[in-house]
């Protein structure tokens, strides 16, 4: 089964989990970067405001073709209890995703809030089927047991949904 793992990570936690997932399923990793820049002083507030408003931002790559895959996994940090504007833009940027199964995960600092519900809404708005959602605390990204649990939620077999 071919899996595409699309993630955004500012400080490495989400990237770390994405790499564990790729090692478990041989999936292709796509690292989303935000092209907008902010001053160090204000960026925390700006990021929170944009995330809370479920905004999108400009990203690299700007378009992602997933038509050759059987499943997509999206990964994001939690910002202001929601997924980030960059992963929102990435979900919007996927091409060839209609009817495809998708799962999502977030890394967080203890309060994931509405992240799972918002992820599901964005995924289903693009015509994908959201078949799994998982959260992992930033302190657990190296925890083997938690990582295995996450993998079992996120990587679906090829049976029809
Ligand atoms: C702007 C900002 C907002 C955040 N908001 C939350 C939050 O609402 N709840 C939470 O549990 N963690 C929050 N965090 C912590 C991150 O979700 C957590 O550190 C995550 O693992 C970072 O992922 P990354 O290393 O892939 O960027 C926030 C971090 C930042 C930078």
CA distance 124 to 90: 14
CA distance 159 to 67: 18
How much is the pTM?
0.97
Per-residue pLDDT tens over the stretch 65-116: 999 999 999 999 999 999 999 999 999 999 999 999 999 999 999 999 999 9
Nearest CA to ligand 1 atom 5: 79
CA distance 158 to 161: 9
Q: Where are the domains of the chain?
A: 3-154
**pLDDT given at position 156:** 78
Q: Which has more confidence, 161 or 85?
A: 85
- CATH for 3-154 is 3.40.50.360
CA distance 1 to 26: 9
Residue 37 burial by Cβ neighbours in a 10 Å radius (0-12, 13-18, 19+): exposed
8, 34, 55, 77, best to mutate for ligand 1 pocket (most atoms within 8 Å of CB): 77
Query: Is 31 touching ligand 1 by the criterion CB < 6 Å?
Result: no
């Amino acid at each position: 089964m071919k899996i595409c793992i699309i993630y955004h990570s500012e400080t490495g936690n989400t990237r770390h989990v994405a790499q564990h997932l790729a090692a478990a399923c041989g999936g292709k990793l796509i690292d989303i970067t935000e092209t907008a820049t902010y001053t160090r002083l204000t960026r925390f507030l700006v990021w929170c405001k944009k995330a809370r408003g479920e905004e999108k931002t400009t990203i690299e790559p700007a378009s992602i073709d997933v038509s050759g895959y059987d499943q997509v996994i999206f990964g994001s940090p939690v910002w202001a209890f929601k997924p980030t504007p960059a992963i929102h833009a990435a979900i919007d940027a996927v091409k060839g995703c209609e009817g495809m199964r998708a799962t999502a995960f977030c890394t967080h600092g203890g309060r994931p809030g509405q992240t799972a519900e918002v992820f599901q809404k964005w995924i289903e708005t693009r015509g994908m089927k959201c078949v799994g959602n998982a959260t992992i605390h930033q302190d657990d990204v190296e925890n083997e047991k938690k990582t295995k649990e996450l993998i079992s939620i996120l990587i679906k077999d090829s049976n029809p949904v």
